[in-house]
């Protein structure tokens, strides 16, 4: 139930994605991690085991909580989680690491073509080789994956949103598909549960935007809808200030309240989703609520301070989620958590 914008990046250098088709190691790769580079350039004949290893490598090195989160789902689904994460992360990086929007759009179009080939049984990139296995086991459709790529393409041309309708439509394609894919891993395609998942995923996307208003503005992106900024009398220039006015803070307060309502509407999914997915869903929902609480604690001035969820509180969320699994499922996850805490 993660969103791409929530995924924390590791300082580890990603394998170069200057082309999504390259299959050979060139001289420029020598300064990079050779193992990662070699796998990134894996030839089309690569086997499934190598491809799945590559996806696990991406997930573990670029999402610091991946090991903990996957401990909350059955072992039989952990590779599928890694495959989905790798697809999403790679798609996002094709856009973010390009020299221009034009170049990024072209790469994403190529990537989308490979996605369609994957669903026709013609996978060649390691991520699609692994993803094909997930698709075969679960019967997932191409729509949520295609929606994700479409959202990444939109990132290249749309950096300011005029209305909430436009912003929520972006979330429909950038966040909601991930929740639908995760439910689909357990062949859960119930429309009512999907609607609950959409509420949670959109809320997670939005609360991430509201905690990162300053960062996004610096990067040239404004997710606060223009209609809301005008209604509250907040100029674009103010988003670059070191602290927010009372009008800015009231505007953010309103946005956070809308997110809380989405979380409340989606809460039932923690009880109604397939049992194997409930702990992970509960963990992400608790994390989203914690960020909302953090924004409230700083009086909604996310220009002055970025809210942070404490390590202790994160551990409490994990503990609560583990309780869904029962005592027998707690030993290995807690070992990982506390060994990480000692480092």
Considering only CA atoms, which of 167, 210, 230 is closest in space to residue 296? 210
- CATH classification for the domain delimited by 1-8+37-157, as one of 1.10.600.10, 1.10.357.10, 3.40.50.720, 1.20.950.20: 1.10.600.10
Question: What is the location of CATH 1.10.600.10 in the chain?
Answer: 1-8+37-157, 158-309
- Name 222's bridge partners: 160
pLDDT at 7: 46
Query: Which CATH superfamily groups domain 158-309?
Result: Farnesyl Diphosphate Synthase (1.10.600.10)
Could you give the CA distance from residue 311 to residue 334 in angstroms, rounded to a whole number?
14
pLDDT at 266: 98
pLDDT at 58 over 70: yes
pLDDT at 297 over 60: yes
pTM (2 decimals)?
0.82
CA distances from 72 to 85, 231, 233, 275, 340 (A): 16, 43, 44, 11, 17
Mean predicted confidence (pLDDT) in 320-342: 49
Residue-wise pLDDT for 71-80, tens only, equals 788 899 999 9
Residue-wise pLDDT for 168-185, tens only, equals 999 999 999 999 999 999
- Give per-residue burial for 201-240: e unless 16+ CB within 10 Å, then b: bbbbbbbbbbbbbbebbeeebbbbbeebbeebebeeebbe
**39 vs 43, which has greater pLDDT?**
43
């Amino acid at each position: 139930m993660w969103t791409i914008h929530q995924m924390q990046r590791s300082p580890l250098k990603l394998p170069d994605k200057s082309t999504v088709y390259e299959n050979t190691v060139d001289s420029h790769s020598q300064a990079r991690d050779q193992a990662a580079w070699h796998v990134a350039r894996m030839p089309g004949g690569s086997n499934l085991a190598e491809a799945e290893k590559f996806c696990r490598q991406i997930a573990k090195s670029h999402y610091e909580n991946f090991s903990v989160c996957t401990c909350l789902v059955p072992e039989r689904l952990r590779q599928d989680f890694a495959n989905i994460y790798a697809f999403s992360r790679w798609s996002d990086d094709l856009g973010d690491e390009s020299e221009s929007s034009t170049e990024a759009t072209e790469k994403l179009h190529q990537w989308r073509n490979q996605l369609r080939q994957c669903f026709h049984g013609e996978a060649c990139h390691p991520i699609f080789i692994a993803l094909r296995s997930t698709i075969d086991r679960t019967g997932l459709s191409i729509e949520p994956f295609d929606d994700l790529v479409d959202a990444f393409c939109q990132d290249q041309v749309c950096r300011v949103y005029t209305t909430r309708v436009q912003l929520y439509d972006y979330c429909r394609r950038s966040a909601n598909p991930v929740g639908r894919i995760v439910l689909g891993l357990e062949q859960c395609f119930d429309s009512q549960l999907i609607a609950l998942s959409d509420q949670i995923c959109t809320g997670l996307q939005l609360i991430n935007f509201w905690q990162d208003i300053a960062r996004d503005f610096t990067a040239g992106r404004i997710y606060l809808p223009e209609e809301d900024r005008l209604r509250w009398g907040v100029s674009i220039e103010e988003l670059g200030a070191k602290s927010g006015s009372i009008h800015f803070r009231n505007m953010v307060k309103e946005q956070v309240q809308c997110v809380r309502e989405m979380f409340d509407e989606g809460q039932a999914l923690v009880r109604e989703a397939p049992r194997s997915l409930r702990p992970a869903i509960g963990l992400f929902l608790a994390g989203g609520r914690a960020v909302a609480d953090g924004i409230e604690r700083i009086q909604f001035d996310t220009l002055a301070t970025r809210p942070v969820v404490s390590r202790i509180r994160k551990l409490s969320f994990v503990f609560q989620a583990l309780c869904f699994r029962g005592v027998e499922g707690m030993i290995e996850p807690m070992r990982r958590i506390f060994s990480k805490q000692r480092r």
